[in-house]
Chain A
Amino acid sequence: MFDRLKKGLKKTSDSLRHKISAAIGRAVKIDDEFCERLEEALLLSDVGASTAALIVDEIKSKAMEKRPADAEALNALVVDILAEILESGAAAEPLAPGLNVVMMMGVNGSGKTTTIGKLAMRYKAEGRKVMLAACDTFRAAASEQLEIWAKRSDVPIIRQREGADPSAVMYDAIQAARARGADLLIADTAGRLHTQSNLMRELQKIQRVAVEKAGVENFRAWLVLDSTIGRNSYNQVQQFGQAVPVDALVLTKMDGTARGGVVFSILKEWRMPIMFVGVGEKMEDLLPFNASEFSRALLGDAVDPA
């Protein structure tokens, strides 16, 4: 599993590590030029501008205090601070006993349906009784897409016609899940831009129905974020969170070139737990987020505490 993660993050990791060592160069001097180069390295990896400024400040004060003797020591110090951020994040809450209802939400094209397909397979393999609910009744062929995934992993799916009320689908699905003794119901919702308040209210209604029906302890709302997205991820986290409390994030499409930087912002500034990361097209490429493994895969074995 670690190898998969490492392979998926290779491009991001290579570019980040290369940029950091380039920023450090041979200099040990902690001057403005060094800070600027470091900031550049972070920005190019999609760490947002404000998070980058925070990290650079931290590195600066730590370096002033410890006064590393050479470039290598400085590099280690930088990597240490980055690893610390990755490992300081909150852990996502595990599933509750009984029937769990997980509502997947996110903007259009973030990868919700595909992620659900992969999750269904994963949880089924773990021995759970999984069911799917096609609450995306808006996009053309969305429920067909989910149905194909349901067939692939051989789990039942509850769907209605296009244009049906998504909260009604949720209601039916929970009832059906109870009747069939399922312990995990994953609901797909339509992609929506977080700026559309009517669609955000629709989401609240689905959540209300699910919480009433399944109980608040057994309800989870996971926000799917496309890691290609830059600064806008922040707005998405904020505004989805305002509509429906987000329990955890799922990061998709991490296997690109300059991605993954957003993880630093998520953990450092927004303090959100990450549940899964997607590093490839295959089902096995959706991995549970493990902070220390992730940090090792991204920053190299040098920071392995063991």
Chain B
Amino acid sequence: MLDSFTEKLGGIFRKLGGKGRITESNVQEALRELRFTLLDADVNFEVVKKFIANVKEAAMGEEVLKSLTPHQQFFKIVKDNLIDMLGGEHAALATGPKKPTVYLLCGLQGSGKTTTCGKLAGQQSKKGKRVLATPLDIYRPAAIEQLRIVAGKTGVSFFFPEGDNDPVSIARKAVSHAEDNNYDLLLLDTAGRLHVDEKMMEEVRAIISAVNPTEVLLVVDGMTGQDAVNIATSFDPVGVTGIVLTKMDGDTRGGAALSVKYATGKPIKLIGTGEKFDALESFHPDRFVSRILDMGDMLSLIEKVEANLDEEDARKLEKKLMSNKFDLEDFRNQIKQVRKLGPIANLLGMIPGFSGLKKHVSDDMAEQQVGRIEAIICSMTPDERKNPGVINASRKRRISKGSGTTVQEVNQLLKQFDMMKKMITQMQKGAMRQPGFGKFR
């Protein structure tokens, strides 16, 4: 996400940092490049103007130019202004005063409403909520069917009154169905509409005034260009309460993200970061900016780990680690768990300073490697997994044949595992010396 943008910004800061002293003209030049980078990242023109003016005002101050670390000061100014532009604080999804809480999704055709609806359904039901999904798109062929399938896949309930052709009445029926059946959350997926289409905009206004949703979420394609601001400002008056940016896993430079909040004042609440149904993240301006500026996003990484890892498994593993009984079977489970977190390259982007490395680790390369390791372990007998010591040359040949790998690869894995065990032993010794380390699993 946002790689090329990050790269360009990094270049600007490096250049500035390379100069021993910062003068007004250095800053001017950096600002010019910053302006071009932002424009090239599809940040709205007006937003860029305002942003540059703000940074300039702050950067031209005496304190910055005279400070001992002027480029760091400049970096901080840019960072603070970016966070500011994105809304500063994290805005969470609201819960209604009584059941059901209703979220309505609206936006242009193809922005990703139905997919987001599915992701949101999965995320909320994972949190223990009873979720109902209802389509209000009576226009696009098979739109209703799509949501029905998506709801089935994410394991939430689906409701559609067959034969009803009026989105307002469907929405009303959905609300009373949710009330009667004690659902916590109702998701309404509206039809895609163009913001210049008066009739369709009137329809969404009518739906909103009929059911009064807790959240009206505007779904915007993260790759949108200058039109993002027009779209957001035309949808805003219907009562938008928050924005969802989708398709942020591509190589978009995220300019839309930087513009919509500024244009509407409405917070970005969620971002979609992948094809799978769990690829939906809450949006935190400060973390997002950290990622843009290659300062990593450890917090999101940790949250991701917590959300995806089974606590029970983690405890078992910790015990095994402590008693030094960690075997290849555990190693395989470990790999499985990590894979649940999503593509490895994405994880790298969240670690400070690692985003540059991301380019060299193509997703499927890492994925393939991991797949081979799994195959090798799967080709071992349970006994071999517990006591890798028994694996002799003939066993190695059998394992390599069984897993479609070579003996060298089997050797490599065994060696790696050996090293890992040694490291664990060392870590245990270290943990005893360093109080509190045990908490950090």
Interface residues of A (CB under 8 A from B): 11, 40, 43-46, 48-50, 107-111, 114, 117, 139-142, 144-145, 147-149, 162, 193-198, 226, 228-232, 235, 253, 255-259, 261-262
Contacts and interface: CB of A to CB of B under 8 A. Distances in A.
Contacts of A229: 221, 223-225
B230 interface: yes
Contacts of A232: 42, 223, 225, 250-253
Contacts of B437: none
Contacts of B231: 228, 256-257
A230 B225 contact: yes
A103 to B, nearest CB: 19
A109 B141 contact: no
Q: Which of B36, B226, B252, B275 has the most CB of A within 10 A?
A: B226
B111 interface: yes
Contact of B149 (A11, A140, A149): A140
Interface in B141-158: 141-143, 145-146, 148-150, 153
B251 A195 contact: yes
A49 B226 contact: no
Given A148-B142, A195-B251, A256-B196, A230 B226 contact: yes
Ranked nearest first, the 4 interchain pairs of A and B with the lowest CB-CB distance are A230-B225, A109-B110, A148-B141, A140-B149
B364 A197 contact: yes
Contacts of A50: 40
A301 to B, nearest CB: 23
A43 B270 CA distance: 28
Interface string B247-277: 1011111011000000000000000000100
Given A49-B36, A145-B146, A258-B227, 15 more contacts: A49-B39, A107-B247, A108-B110, A109-B112, A141-B142, A141-B148, A142-B142, A144-B141, A162-B149, A196-B363, A228-B221, A230-B224, A230-B255, A253-B109, A256-B231
Given A48-B40, A197-B364, A145 B141 contact: yes
B39 A228 contact: no
Interface string B211-233: 00000000001011111101100
B130 interface: no
Contacts of A117: 141
Contacts of A148: 141-142
B133 interface: no
Given A50-B40, A230-B42, A139 B146 contact: yes
A255 B149 CA distance: 31
10 contacts: A49-B39, A49-B40, A108-B110, A108-B247, A109-B111, A141-B146, A144-B141, A162-B149, A232-B252, A253-B108
A46 B255 contact: no
A195 B4 CA distance: 13
B196 A108 contact: no
B40 A231 contact: yes
Contacts of B145: 140-141, 144-145
B380 to A, nearest CB: 28
Contacts of A45: 226
Contacts of B227: 46, 228, 230, 256-259
B142 A231 contact: no
A166 B376 CA distance: 30
Interface string B32-56: 0000100111100100000000000
A139 B275 CA distance: 10
A253 B111 CA distance: 12
A226 B250 CA distance: 15
Contacts of B41: 231
B38 to A, nearest CB: 9
B409 to A, nearest CB: 22
Contacts of A11: 196
A147 B145 CA distance: 12
Contact of A44 (B110, B142, B196, B226): B226
B194 interface: yes
A253 B110 CA distance: 10
B360 interface: no
B225 A231 contact: yes
B324 interface: no
Nearest to B250: A193
B194 A43 contact: no
A195 B249 contact: yes
